Amino acid sequence: MLEIKNLHAQVGDKAILKGVNLTIRDGEIHALMGTNGAGKSTLSNVIVGNPSYEVTEGSIIFNGQDLLSMSPEERAHAGVFMSFQAPIEIPGVSMTNFMRAAVNARREAMGKEPLKSTDFLKIMREKRKLVEIDQKLMNRSVNEGFSGGERKRNEIFQMAMLEPTFCILDETDSGLDVDALRIVAEGFNKLRTTETSAIVITHYQRLLDYIRPDFVHVLIDGHIVKTGTAELAQKIEEKGFDWIKEELA
């Protein structure tokens, strides 16, 4: 599904990613762990095409397409979705209008007719239930006045609406209490199909108890330095990253 080769990226003049290689097949969940500033968020932003990040070398192939030559919206239409670490507020744009624009843009890219208003609202209602998000939030502006937990739930709700095939969950667990974490993680699991793949970025084992990773990667200083199974995450939870750094030295 996704093949990243020798990826180098920078923000301004600062090199962050220094040759990342990663292959993700259909249906796989890859956890990405690492110290602060190691490049986890840079990697996810590069995958979704954030213009603030510059790719200097390497390639990303997504289902046979050269992802780096595509605009952020084209990538979204191809099925790439990111749950943002800090979802922003968009004052004056209602959730409903925002979602309608997003859903219909994707449908248009797929050569489908825009959804009828009644059908759209019906789908909104169904998907809202998945993440237990209140209808009154839908009448507000995007994320405006949402609590931290509501914002994260809203990200998964958007994922439900857009039905992506590849998701990046960028610290979706941060700022969530235990119950909210369960709702968000279970929501994600319900939405998954056998084809859905994901990169799950987290600092904690807890999220991975709900969303079981097939692989765990450790990113340090712009390189993936270690890859293992779910047990690696547990070991990091217990011992931190120092032992990995020592191994490298």
Partner 1 sequence: MKSEQQYIELYHEASSVIKERSCPVMNVVRDEAFEAFRQVGFPSKKVERYKYTDVDAAFAPNYGISLSPLTVKPSAYIYNMKDAPIDVTPYYHQVADCSDAITALNTALVHDALLVYVPKNTRVADLIVVDNWLRGTAATMMNRRILVVMEQGSEATLIINDHAADKQRFLVTQVMEVYCHDNARLDLYEIEETTPLCSRFSNVYIREGRDCSVKHNSITLFNGQTRNLCDVYLQGENSEVTLNGCAIGSGHQRIDNNTLIRHEVPNCQSNELYKYVVDDQSVGAFAGKILVEKDAQKTVSQETNANLCASPDGRMYTQPMLEIYADDVKCAHGSTVGVMDETALFYMRQRGIPEAEARTLLKNAFMGQVIDQIKNESLRQRLYVKVEKRFRGELDKCEDCRLCK
The yes or no reply on residue 111 touching partner 1 (CB under 8 A) is no
SS3 46: helix
Stretch that binds partner 1, among 78-86, 119-127, 169-177, 211-219 (CB under 8 A): 78-86
136 Cβ contact partners less than 8 Å away, ≥ 6 residues apart = none
Position among 3, 59, 68, 87 found at the interface with partner 1 (CB under 8 A): 87
Is 96 a residue that touches partner 1 (CB under 8 A)? no
How many CA atoms lie within 13 Å of 77's alpha carbon, on the beta-carbon side? 16
Within 10 A of 192 (CB to CB), how many other CB atoms are there?
15
Helix segments in 5-84, DSSP class H:
40-48, 72-78
**E-strand spans in 69-190?**
80-83, 90-94, 141-142, 166-170
CB of 97 to partner 1, least distance (A): 7
Considering the rule CB under 8 A, would residue 48 count as an interface residue with partner 1? yes
105 part of the interface to partner 1, by CB under 8 A: yes
Among 16, 22, 24, 82, binds partner 1 (CB under 8 A): 82
Count of C-beta atoms within a 10 Å radius of residue 144: 15
Q: β-pairing, 141-142 with 90-94?
A: antiparallel
The one among 17, 41, 95, 106 contacting partner 1 by CB under 8 A: 106
Among 92, 178, 193, 246, binds partner 1 (CB under 8 A): 92
Give least dist CB 85 to partner 1, A: 12
- Binding of residue 71 to partner 1 (CB under 8 A): yes
Site for partner 1 in 7-36 (CB under 8 A): none
Q: Which amino acid is at 19?
A: G
8 token code pair: 């180098």
Q: Is residue 52 within the footprint of partner 1 (CB under 8 A)?
A: yes
For residue 82, which amino acid is it? M
- Whether 8 and 55 have beta carbons less than 8 Å apart is answered as yes
- What does the per-residue mask of binding to partner 1 show for 116-155, with x meaning CB under 8 A? -------------------------xx-------------
One of 130, 133, 156, 162 touching partner 1 (CB under 8 A) = 162
Of the residues 50, 59, 174, 234, which one makes contact with partner 1 according to CB under 8 A:
50
Q: Checking phi first, is residue 52 left (phi over 0); if not, alpha (psi -120 to 50) or beta?
A: alpha
d(CA 244, CA 77): 38
- Tell me if 158 contacts partner 1 by CB under 8 A: yes
Which residues of the shown chain bind partner 1 in the complex (CB under 8 A)?
Answer: 48-52, 71-73, 75-77, 81-82, 84, 87-88, 90-93, 97-98, 101-102, 105-106, 109, 141-142, 158, 162
